[in-house]
Chain A
Amino acid sequence: MTTALLLVGCVAIWAFLAWDAPIDRYQGVIQKILYVHVPMAIGTYLGFVCTALGGALYLWKGDERWDRFALSSAEIGVLFAVLMLISGPIWAKGTWGKWWSWDLRLTVTLLLFFVYVAYLLLRSFTEGSERAARFAAVYGIAGIALIPLNYFAIKIAAGRSIHPENLGGDSLGAGMRWPFLMGMVAMVAVFAFLLVRRMEIGRLRAEQSRRRALAGREEAPWASS
């Protein structure tokens, strides 16, 4: 309960700061979408890095908790990616005049989104939790290993990027830095909260299926032989 209250407080401060931030002279009010879009992008990449990390640790240690960590991270990463892919084009339409551009960073992120949707589908199509965990771990690691290659490939194919460069403290106007920073903090907090809850659900599901399997063996002892 305390965690949930802290989280709501964090998000409320972020929302207030974003509301209160000055309106950009050139882009107008639509610029405020970036206070949501950029933290979503951070959450997306955090999810995908955690998926690969969890997968690698699962293959190394064989502990199913790492697999739950990887799966939960992938699900949250995909959720954040969907929100980022919705908020980005709305901002782009208002600023660039078009919904989408086959720009370097956009394309790499879109491909990464497809990789992790495929990751989740692979898990749901694979029977046996241990096998699904192994396959998904290999795929998750391959997905993250290819990010630099995708960057390089799309750079030579698409040319120069029109996406804004990484926003540093100096590149933001007066009063815009705090909503951004608070957005990052709030998004990492939301990510951590969802991760813990989702891992707990995963643990309970695993326990339930173990109990069911055990009850089935007790009811039909010949089936276990």
Chain B
Amino acid sequence: MKILWTLLWKDLLTEWRSRDRLVAMLVFALLVVVVLYFAAPPGQGDTAREHIPGLLWVAYVFTIVLGLSRSFGMELENEALSGLALAPVDRGWIFLGKAGANLALVLIMQAVTAFAFALAFDLNLWPIALPLAAVAFLGAVGLCSLGTLFSAMAVRTTNREMILPLLMLPLMVPVVLGAVQATRGLIAEGTVPFSALQLLLVTDGVFLIVSFLGFEYVLDE
């Protein structure tokens, strides 16, 4: 289990020193917010505002796909990826270390993007800030676990930037739908529908188990 904390610390320290991935994710997310504002301007009616949670999660998903594509890219330098594969530890812990570091970056991005969304779309998110953060966290856990697994595969392919979204998007649907439903419930009524919460929890559990077990087969020398 020590490998988990070592990897987590290593990834976060590297990111703190370079800040390249986080800055790129934040700039991209803000650009998506601007594009979405002009593509789907918020109307005054309830129907027009119904789409806002979906747009927020579209921004999250695009940014997560972009950010995770670099997750294992840095491990290619100096054959660090081979070193990881040869480490005499359970590869599931390596997965959790990498996924944990990705999750930390994604949570920062989600907070900044939600703030930008609130300003752009004239939303008052303060009264629901805590439950919204919990929903964002649950969504991020699912997306980061599956994304980390696929990122480890994509880095070993010839078209890594192209294949990662193709692998991730069709399988991300349950998390995104659960998260959008939960966010919609929060913005409209201040409560999270139980079915959405149930879906998020079950999906997170399944994604974590599949990724933890599958990682054994995707890391190679």
Contacts and interface: CB of A to CB of B under 8 A. Distances in A.
Interface of A: 59, 111-112, 114-115, 117-118, 121-122, 125-127, 131, 134-135, 137-139, 141-143, 145-146, 149-150, 152-154, 156-157
Given A142-B210, A153-B173, A157-B181, A125 B217 contact: no
Given A135-B218, A145-B206, A152 B153 contact: no
25 contacts: A111-B170, A115-B171, A117-B166, A118-B166, A121-B163, A122-B157, A122-B166, A122-B167, A125-B158, A125-B159, A126-B153, A126-B156, A126-B158, A135-B217, A138-B153, A141-B214, A145-B210, A146-B174, A149-B174, A149-B199, A150-B174, A152-B174, A152-B202, A153-B203, A156-B181
B153 A142 contact: no
Interface in B124-157: 146, 149-150, 153, 156-157
Given A138-B149, A156-B177, A122 B170 contact: no
Given A135-B156, A139-B150, 8 more contacts: A122-B163, A134-B218, A134-B220, A139-B167, A149-B202, A152-B199, A154-B173, A157-B180
A125 B163 contact: yes
Interface string B30-59: 000000000000000000000000000000
The 3 closest A-B pairs by CB, nearest first: A153-B174, A125-B157, A114-B170
B195 interface: yes
A110 to B, nearest CB: 9
Contacts of B181: 156-157
Contacts of B218: 134-135, 138
- Binding site of B, secondary structure by majority: helix, strand, loop or mixed? helix
A156 B196 contact: yes
Residue from A118, A127, A145 with most neighbouring chain B CB atoms (10 Å): A118
Contacts of B167: 118, 122, 139
Contacts of B163: 118, 121-122, 125
A53 B96 CA distance: 27
B170 A115 contact: yes
A118 B146 CA distance: 15
Given A125-B159, A154-B177, A142 B220 contact: no
B192 to A, nearest CB: 12
Contacts of A137: 217
Contacts of B156: 126, 131, 135
A119 to B, nearest CB: 9
Interface residues of B, number: 33
B206 A157 contact: no
B214 A138 contact: yes
Contacts of A115: 170-171
A22 B36 CA distance: 52
A45 to B, nearest CB: 16
B178 A153 contact: yes
Residue from A59, A131, A137, A157 with most neighbouring chain B CB atoms (10 Å): A157
Interface in B157-194: 157-159, 162-163, 166-167, 169-171, 173-174, 177-178, 180-181, 193
A114 B174 CA distance: 15
Given A122-B153, A125-B158, A138-B153, A156 B199 contact: yes
Contact of A150 (B157, B159, B173, B217): B173
Interface string B199-214: 1001100100010001
Nearest to B211: A142
Contact of A157 (B149, B171, B177): B177
Nearest to A139: B167
A142 B157 contact: no
A156 B149 CA distance: 27
Contacts of B196: 156
